[in-house]
Structure 1
Amino acid sequence: MILQALVKEYESLAEQGKVSQPGWCQAKVSYEINLYADGRIKQIICLKKEKEIGKKKVLIPKTMKVPQMVTRSSGIAANFLCDNSKYLLGIDAEGTSGRIMDCFLAAKEKHLSVLEGTDGIMAQAVRNFFKNWNPESAQECPELKEQWEGLTDGGNLVFGMNEFYAQDDLEIQKMWNTSQSETEKETSGICLVTGNYGPISRIHRSIKGVPGAQSSGAALVSFNAPAFESYGKEQSYNAPVGKYAEFAYTTALNYLLGQEEYRFQLGDTRVVFWAESGEEAYQDFFASFLEPKPDNEEMLKAVFAGLKKQKYLDLDQFELNPNQKFYILGLAPNAARLAVRFFYEDSFGNILKHLAEHYQRIEIVKPVWEQNSYLGIRDMLAETVNQKAKDKNPISNMASMVLQAILAGNRYPASLYTDTMIRIRAEQGNVTWKKAAILKAYLIQNYHLEKGEHYMGLNEGCKEEAYVLGRLFAMLEAIQMDANPGIKATIRDRYFNSACATPAIVFPILFKLKNSHIKKLERDNPSAKIYYEKQIMEIMGKLGEKMPNRLTLEEQGQFDLGYYHQMQKKYEKREEK
């Protein structure tokens, strides 16, 4: 299913001219070996460009279309026209050696073989270079000595002459394509992806762009031990994927992972997404839904309103089709391989609908200084982690399960709720609006807490004991704060966690403290004393004769929510005054 979707994406991208044709690929190239017609080195040209990343300026290699590069895990295997200094020049930082000379000889044999019989000027220049170049005398070449350190740092090199690159020469391209068709006569079979009969790929190309995986790339499909093989089928013949399908899915996935605006990191998982049609408008729209910002919130509100009426908006004069298939893939590093965290497929309309429902559940009254109307998914997950810790990433499998639940409209994973509660306890009851929003969304979706606007802000009509106790605690804290202006530590710092878990034990202590605070208010601010006593009586009237000894985990979340709502109501009244 994943490979089939990626093959379709490749075909859409190929139609738009965004990816290479079979036999070719995109590679990062650091230097050009510029040649004379007789094969001598004319000069070494640096192709790196300066780019500002954060506050630093770094040199970035140039991305170029080059002949398909081989997959190297061990042994010697040369690429055509694009490779590192060991293969094209026979040198590394220390000079040359026996193994490095073998690499150069492998490249020499490949280039002379592919370019045999050609009369083109560029092809002859490359052939002459390999015939005449001696790696042992490389250190005597003044053109190399000037760029020696950069040339031997492992980056790719290409050949060129005057202002043209060898891989752009039409005759060389023709020779390369011919050589590819001749070497593809290998093991044949039925491709599991396309269903067509043809050459089967023995080794699949590496996938790059997943943080934590090998920098040289990691495999999505591979077999590296006899235990994984069956019926005598070795390596990837065990799960036959045709050469075309292998090239297509690896090219498409590498392209998607290379697009910064259409990927994002969720814990250790790299998430990419695309529409079956290949239209980027769907990706743009989906990306804006994942990370709502003040500059796109009006558009999202309009979309949410349209979804309720079964209407869909145009985006930059492009009509969005709600029935368009949309794919979301999560990949995580696993040594030399990639692990698929999740793969989700649905219509674009359904995905937007589930995202809208999630944002509606998580909406809550906020402090006046908060500018964002919506809490993005990554910001939400950040609330489950100690932001003072060295590792600020949420638990990997929890993060991916949360995204899956949101996309499919399913129940949130319990770890989202428990990790949020743990952070609240660790911070002595610091229930921020983001944490309160998570609790609200979880309780609505998983425990069927009353929906609608009743829990958007303070629900004064609610008679749930846990919620009312949270309100009561907030009111007792407010009395203490008004009685002692400028106090640095309140009852929240000392009693919140225990009051939330065992209210029957803690609240009698809090009421004793309240009485002393009320006496102080009676002396300093009589009107405040009357207000608070009325509020306490109103809240106590919603409780039973006996406080519960313990609150369940679900009830503790309601306690926190009641506390947050009551505190926000207090600040709201101050702002009105």
Structure 2
Amino acid sequence: MILQALFQHAVEARLVEAMEAKERLVHLVLTIRPDGSIAEGSPWQVLYRTIADPKKKEAQKEEPGRPLWMPEFPGVNSGGKANFLAEACDKVLGCNGKTGEPIADDGQNASKAYLHFWQRIADAHKATADPSLTALLAFRDRYLATPEGRDALKSIADLRPFGKNDLPTFCAITATQVIPLDKKTITFKVGVTSGPMFEKGSPLHDYWKGEFNRERFADAPESSANNRGVCLVTGLENQQIAEVHRTLIKGVPGLPPIGGYLVSFDTSTPSLSSYGFERGWNAPVSEQAAAAYALGLNEILADKVCRRRFGNAVLCSWIPSEPEISEAFSLLFDTPAQDAVKKFFDAFEGQGSFHHALDTRQFRSLTLAANGGRIVVRRWLDEPLRAAVAALKRWFTDLDIEPIEVPRKAASVAKAGGRKGKNQDQTPSDDVEPIGDSAGTGPLPLSIYALAATTARVASEVQSTVYDALYRAALEETNPVSLLPSLLQRLRISAAQSGNAIRFQTSRFALLKLILNRSEKRSMLERQPMLERQLIETNDPAYNCGRLLAILDDIQYAAQGDVGADVVARFYGNASTFPRNVFPRLLRLEKHHRSKLVKNQKKRHVGIALGRKLDDVFALFRPVSDGGPPDFPGTLSLQEQGRFALGFHQQKAKDNRDLKEYLARKAAGDTSPDLDTTDEFLADSASE
């Protein structure tokens, strides 16, 4: 099924028809005259391309080499052969790219490759009588056939001091600079004003297309009648079966630079020979289909829209024949702005631009890794586009949680590198997910990378299995519950470091909400209400313990202001795992803090208002005895620890929402007595 999907992609993109040529990086073009002599002046044309400078943001720099449309090698070059028309220095000029010494005629691969390069040109000249090839052969006879000719070549290619230590280096000599020839690809141009030798539709292109197909397919050893059969990919009969899949695949992390194979056969292992079949006959695929699926996969891996690399794996996702929808899916994972999410799903509604594909297209996703020179398929998904859209919609619904915007004052402190207290109160730590887009116009739904980063100390330490679990949760509606322990551990560590600033870390709480709501391990008796976007009223002790800690933190802040380590920094870890051991002590501290508030005439009303909030949460607990204190749970399971965290965050989010509403009403001139005095105090504190 995977090979059929990749083959289909290659056919739709017409990759098989154009596989005889591709863009290759060419560094130098040598200009010669029609008689084969080197052009006067500066015969070398040095090619550059512009790339982004990794050391300077938004800057660009010139890098040697430019992609040119050139002939492709037919199959795999295992040594002793060369490309047509463009190759490295040793194959074109017949001399070592570092020292300039002529290649010895000793029958080794280097000598064979040099002879093969020029034999290709001679064969092409014989078949086409192309004048440019006549010039190339004349160049070979004039400069490469005799020692005297090679001496004449030294005017444009010779040893020159190069590098920091001015070491003798074989270089191309131009009017303004010298270019080391080692690992540089060289091609030719005949005449100063002429264009490229190899162009689409030219006689050389037509010749090479036929030659490529002959070498790649017709002359393969399996072309005999005994090596024909039914292709499992196309279903066609009497096809030349590929004993070896020769087209290399590149772009999978961990593969050698030359590439690797998705399908390969080990002849040294008898257990891999099913029913006596050997090599490609274990799973017969035609030569054309074997080349096509590899070309299709290579194009997908080269497309930044379709691929997502994470750790030692890469995920490819695409919708056949729908590049715009494929790109929209990709952007939704990378930069899921709130308006973009709505626009995406609206596009699949009645008159939307994507509605036509909803019931006619498939969504395909392929996760790959490497093992030596072989490619490992970790995950394959092929489902109707409608199912993928529905899964993605539920993904964003389950992630939806009320965010808390970072106050402007706190954001400016963080930007300046300053702190507000040792626990950075009001200031997010480095791993806080920013809320709002670059223009500050609203909250952002969370990207897959921000969610994954919540499970590790820094983003670079995120395991590839984390991304895999998140993508499966988004596209297959699975529950990434395996991430819960590491997510909670990082949350406890972050609380100890950042204190109540963890409330800004929307990514953590959104992922917690998704995991808990999708959990299937709770029995019907243990099942708690589904967590919503905002604070819910429930008798769940774990959730209410989290709410309680949030209110106790507000009471401490109202009584003492900024402190070196707030209640959250000191007690979150133990409170979220052993509430009964911690909350009695915290309530004793709360009485001291509230007493201080009540005695202060300016803050008395704040103490009373916060006390009412506390009593409202106490009422949700079962008391130890009639009229006694709440009966806090002894220990909390991982699921309950997650509900504790969400209770804390959603209580803080409600307080933040109430504060915004208070400020809006106050700005509108509303002086009604029902305005919460707690919000008034917090508003005044935020402006200090």
TM-score (norm 2): 0.75
What letter is aligned with 1:216? I
State the partner residue of 2:234: 194
In structure 2, the CA distance between the partners of 1:248 and 1:356, relative to structure 1 (3 Å rule), is same
Say if 2:341 is the partner of 1:300: yes
8 Å Cα contact 1:19-1:255 kept in structure 2: no
State the partner residue of 2:20: 23
State the partner residue of 2:198: 167
- Cα-to-partner distance string for 1:199-234 (whole Å, 9 max, x where unaligned): 334342222233443333232223356127426766
- Cα-to-partner distance string for 1:163-189 (whole Å, 9 max, x where unaligned): 333332733233323334444233033
State the partner residue of 1:456: 533
Residue ranges of structure 2 left out of the alignment (5+ in a row) = 159-170, 407-434, 437-442, 497-501, 625-630, 663-679, 681-688
State the partner residue of 2:569: 493
State the partner residue of 2:469: 401
State the partner residue of 1:142: 155
8 Å Cα contact 1:22-1:244 kept in structure 2: no
8 Å Cα contact 2:245-2:287 kept in structure 1: no
State the partner residue of 1:179: 211
What letter is aligned with 1:374? P
Give the C-alpha shift of residue 139 in structure 1.
8.9
In structure 2, the CA distance between the partners of 1:470 and 1:301, relative to structure 1 (3 Å rule), is same
Give the C-alpha shift of residue 450 in structure 1.
6.4
Say if 2:611 is the partner of 1:568: no
Say if 2:483 is the partner of 1:413: no
In structure 2, the CA distance between the partners of 1:192 and 1:131, relative to structure 1 (3 Å rule), is farther
Give the C-alpha shift of residue 2 in structure 1.
1.7
- Correspondence for 2:583 among 507, 520, 527: 507
2 CA distance for matches of 1:63 and 1:19? 20
Provide the secondary structure at the position in 1 that maps to 2:595: helix
Give the C-alpha shift of residue 293 in structure 1.
4.4
State the partner residue of 2:51: 51
What letter is aligned with 1:143? I
State the partner residue of 1:383: 454
State the partner residue of 2:296: 252
Give the C-alpha shift of residue 466 in structure 1.
0.5
State the partner residue of 1:6: 6
8 Å Cα contact 1:270-1:332 kept in structure 2: yes
1 CA distance for matches of 2:74 and 2:658? 69
8 Å Cα contact 2:528-2:540 kept in structure 1: no
2 CA distance for matches of 1:280 and 1:247? 23
Say if 2:445 is the partner of 1:374: yes
8 Å Cα contact 2:245-2:291 kept in structure 1: no
8 Å Cα contact 1:384-1:394 kept in structure 2: yes
Give the C-alpha shift of residue 354 in structure 1.
0.9
What letter is aligned with 2:13? L
- Correspondence for 1:82 among 71, 86, 92: 86
State the partner residue of 2:632: 547
Q: Say what the alpha-carbon RMSD is for the aligned residues.
A: 2.9
Give the C-alpha shift of residue 238 in structure 1.
4.8
In structure 2, the CA distance between the partners of 1:529 and 1:65, relative to structure 1 (3 Å rule), is same
Give the C-alpha shift of residue 464 in structure 1.
0.8
State the partner residue of 1:38: 35
State the partner residue of 1:154: 183
2 CA distance for matches of 1:33 and 1:192? 47
2 CA distance for matches of 1:462 and 1:244? 63
Q: Which moved more, 1:525-534 or 1:422-431?
A: 422-431
- Correspondence for 1:124 among 134, 138, 145: 134
8 Å Cα contact 1:329-1:340 kept in structure 2: yes
1 CA distance for matches of 2:124 and 2:611? 92
In structure 2, the CA distance between the partners of 1:199 and 1:344, relative to structure 1 (3 Å rule), is same
2 CA distance for matches of 1:382 and 1:465? 29
What letter is aligned with 1:330? T
8 Å Cα contact 1:78-1:87 kept in structure 2: yes
State the partner residue of 1:527: 605
2 CA distance for matches of 1:47 and 1:53? 18
Say if 2:300 is the partner of 1:287: no
8 Å Cα contact 1:118-1:124 kept in structure 2: no
1 CA distance for matches of 2:278 and 2:359? 44
Give the C-alpha shift of residue 492 in structure 1.
1.6
8 Å Cα contact 1:322-1:350 kept in structure 2: no
Give the C-alpha shift of residue 462 in structure 1.
1.1
Residue ranges of structure 1 left out of the alignment (5+ in a row) = none
State the partner residue of 1:517: 593
2 CA distance for matches of 1:383 and 1:31? 48
In structure 2, the CA distance between the partners of 1:181 and 1:143, relative to structure 1 (3 Å rule), is same
1 CA distance for matches of 2:291 and 2:76? 16
2 CA distance for matches of 1:234 and 1:80? 33
In structure 2, the CA distance between the partners of 1:240 and 1:41, relative to structure 1 (3 Å rule), is farther
8 Å Cα contact 2:248-2:259 kept in structure 1: yes
What letter is aligned with 1:530? I
- Cα-to-partner distance string for 1:18-74 (whole Å, 9 max, x where unaligned): 786243333232222333323344423223222334525141633333223255574
2 CA distance for matches of 1:7 and 1:427? 48
8 Å Cα contact 1:138-1:144 kept in structure 2: no
State the partner residue of 2:685: none
In structure 2, the CA distance between the partners of 1:219 and 1:173, relative to structure 1 (3 Å rule), is same
What letter is aligned with 2:98? A
What letter is aligned with 1:37? P
In structure 2, the CA distance between the partners of 1:259 and 1:155, relative to structure 1 (3 Å rule), is farther
Provide the secondary structure at the position in 2 that maps to 1:428: helix
In structure 2, the CA distance between the partners of 1:211 and 1:144, relative to structure 1 (3 Å rule), is farther
2 CA distance for matches of 1:156 and 1:70? 18
8 Å Cα contact 1:504-1:548 kept in structure 2: yes
2 CA distance for matches of 1:153 and 1:221? 34
Q: Which moved more, 1:158-167 or 1:145-154?
A: 145-154
In structure 2, the CA distance between the partners of 1:166 and 1:224, relative to structure 1 (3 Å rule), is farther
8 Å Cα contact 2:26-2:68 kept in structure 1: yes
Give the C-alpha shift of residue 301 in structure 1.
1.3
- Correspondence for 2:494 among 414, 427, 432: 427
Say if 2:373 is the partner of 1:336: yes
In structure 2, the CA distance between the partners of 1:236 and 1:89, relative to structure 1 (3 Å rule), is farther
2 CA distance for matches of 1:282 and 1:101? 51
Say if 2:517 is the partner of 1:444: yes
- Correspondence for 1:205 among 232, 247, 250: 247
In structure 2, the CA distance between the partners of 1:292 and 1:176, relative to structure 1 (3 Å rule), is closer
Q: How does 1:307-322 map to 2 (within 5 A)?
A: 311=350, 313-314=352-353, 319-322=356-359
2 CA distance for matches of 1:457 and 1:345? 35
In our comparison, the structure showing a higher alpha carbon Rg is 2
1 CA distance for matches of 2:347 and 2:322? 22
In structure 2, the CA distance between the partners of 1:120 and 1:249, relative to structure 1 (3 Å rule), is same
8 Å Cα contact 2:346-2:352 kept in structure 1: no
Q: Which moved more, 1:278-287 or 1:21-30?
A: 21-30
- Cα-to-partner distance string for 1:81-106 (whole Å, 9 max, x where unaligned): 23222222223122244453332123
TM-score (norm 1): 0.88
